[in-house]
């Protein structure tokens, strides 16, 4: 990890090569400014999630630099829902654990907040995990395929809500839906092209 980025950038990635036992992606270059929504696009297996995991500290940086603004607070929504079998946590408790609130949640999800997460549909769980990241008290939300399992109303809600959140946090998101990326992102970085 290098020194932090300039005072304006939340994150500055320069010639990053990242992976696990060996590098699987890179070199990658980008910055993320406060209030910016940056998208990652590229084929399956190109390393988009690995770059995101490197930002969050879950993948190894082999070379290059990944500079964070000092004190940067990050939330990470993973592509696959968290394993919840036999974990008696409700939607409301998930939001409390992350510091996210209920204000702004759509009416169709509110009645489900008292239910255990392992009893929700894949789309309902996905939506609550995304909400727990974008409404948490963080500076940067990392969203890996946030529209997975969502129905049309869930996707439509994110299309409206993510741009409204720019004044509160920056976002980096991965999606194979190029129309979704183009609709919400300021810039799209091609990974593995």
Q: What is the CATH number of the domain that holds 153?
A: 3.40.50.300
CB–CB of 170/33 below 8 Å? yes
Q: Which residues contact 175 (CB under 8 A, 6 or more apart)?
A: 39, 41, 145, 146, 147, 181
Task: Quote the pLDDT of residue 135.
Answer: 95
- Overall domain count for the chain: 1
Residue 57 belongs to some domain of the structure = yes
Residue 4 belongs to some domain of the structure = no
Residue 61 belongs to some domain of the structure = yes
Q: Is the dihedral of CA 165, 167, 171, 173 positive or negative?
A: positive
DSSP state of 90: B
Domain range enclosing 129: 9-190
Give the pLDDT band of residue 127 (cuts 50, 70, 90): very high
pLDDT digits (tens, 9 = 90+) for 130-147: 999 999 999 999 999 999
Q: Which residues contact 138 (CB under 8 A, 6 or more apart)?
A: 73, 74, 75, 169
Residue 103 belongs to some domain of the structure = yes
Residue 30 belongs to some domain of the structure = yes
pLDDT digits (tens, 9 = 90+) for 38-91: 999 988 888 999 999 999 999 999 999 999 999 999 999 987 666 667 778 899
Residue 2 belongs to some domain of the structure = no
Average per-residue pLDDT for the chain: 90
Residue 132 belongs to some domain of the structure = yes
Residue 136 belongs to some domain of the structure = yes
Strand partners, 13: 30, 66
Per-position b or e across 170-181, b if 16+ CB within 10 A of its CB: bbbbbbeeeebb
Q: Strands 60-68 and 187-190: what pairing?
A: unpaired
């Amino acid at each position: 990890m290098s020194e932090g980025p300039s005072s304006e950038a939340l994150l500055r990635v320069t010639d990053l090569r990242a992976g696990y036992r060996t590098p699987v992606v890179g070199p990658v270059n980008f910055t993320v400014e406060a209030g910016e929504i940056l998208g990652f696009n590229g084929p399956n297996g190109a390393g988009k999630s690995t770059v995101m995991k490197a930002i969050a500290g879950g993948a190894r940086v082999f070379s290059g630099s990944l500079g964070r603004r000092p004190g940067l607070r990050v939330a990470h929504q993973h592509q696959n829902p968290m394993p919840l079998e036999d974990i008696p946590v409700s939607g409301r408790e998930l939001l409390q654990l992350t510091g996210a609130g209920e204000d702004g949640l759509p009416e169709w999800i509110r009645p489900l907040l008292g239910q255990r997460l392992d009893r929700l549909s894949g789309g309902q769980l996905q939506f609550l995990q995304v909400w727990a990241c974008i409404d948490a008290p963080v500076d940067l939300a990392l969203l890996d395929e946030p529209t997975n399992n969502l129905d049309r109303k869930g996707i439509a809600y994110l299309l409206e809500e993510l741009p409204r959140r720019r004044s509160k946090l920056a976002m980096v998101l991965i999606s194979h839906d190029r129309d979704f990326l183009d609709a919400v992102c300021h810039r799209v970085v091609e990974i593995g092209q």
